[in-house]
Chain A
Amino acid sequence: AQSVTQLDSQVPVFEEAPVELRCNYSSSVSVYLFWYVQYPNQGLQLLLKYLSGSTLVESINGFEAEFNKSQTSFHLRKPSVHISDTAEYFCAVRPLGGYNKLIFGAGTRLAVHP
């Protein structure tokens, strides 16, 4: 079985400051890793994903995440946040093979203040 732990339920940060949202997972098999973002009153959208290859993956809006197998982590970072980044962020895993079932973490609410 798999599980995902997002260590911070809320992260307040000032605009243009760096931010890191932490995600750790547990799995007995290899997994794919994902970050989804949910803006207020919307559904979830894929932000970035790690399937294989380079352990550092990037999104189009400046976020990046690094897969660390030894620490079973997939932390999300951005060097300078904007007000528009205010949202809830979900880390998720999916075991290789089998059905397309995602296991989500509890979410981290990022609040960017001016």
Chain B
Amino acid sequence: DAGVIQSPRHEVTEMGQEVTLRCKPISGHDYLFWYRQTMMRGLELLIYFNNNVPIDDSGMPEDRFSAKMPNASFSTLKIQPSEPRDSAVYFCASSRQGADEQYFGPGTRLTVT
């Protein structure tokens, strides 16, 4: 299996622009997680899905952030409008129902200028 795939790997954008991050989980996995990692705040869980349904979005910073999972093989995290404080590495992870290990993607490094 190719593992969790994230695109783009790097994104540089200007403040106010819309940013869309993409994730393809491992085939057969029922859970998908979006995390954000910064030096100041460490690793934060933003939202997670089970069978394409959002279960807990309490970690989403504010209304500028939204996430969707239209099918079992694709999810997006959108920031509109983006701000410099959104600069971070965003990770996607997936796991199987009942399994214990989460598999992480390589991350998307977002820089908002």
Contact = CB atoms under 8 A, between A and B. Distances in A.
Contacts of B43: 44, 90, 104, 106-107
A99 B50 contact: yes
Interface residues of B, number: 23
Contact of B42 (A46, A51, A101, A106): A106
B56 A32 contact: no
**Interface residues of B, dominant DSSP:** strand
Contact of B101 (A46, A101, A104): A46
Given A104-B42, A104-B43, A107-B42, A99 B101 contact: no
A43 B101 contact: no
15 contacts: A43-B107, A44-B104, A46-B102, A49-B100, A90-B43, A99-B48, A99-B50, A100-B98, A101-B33, A101-B45, A101-B48, A101-B56, A102-B45, A102-B102, A104-B45
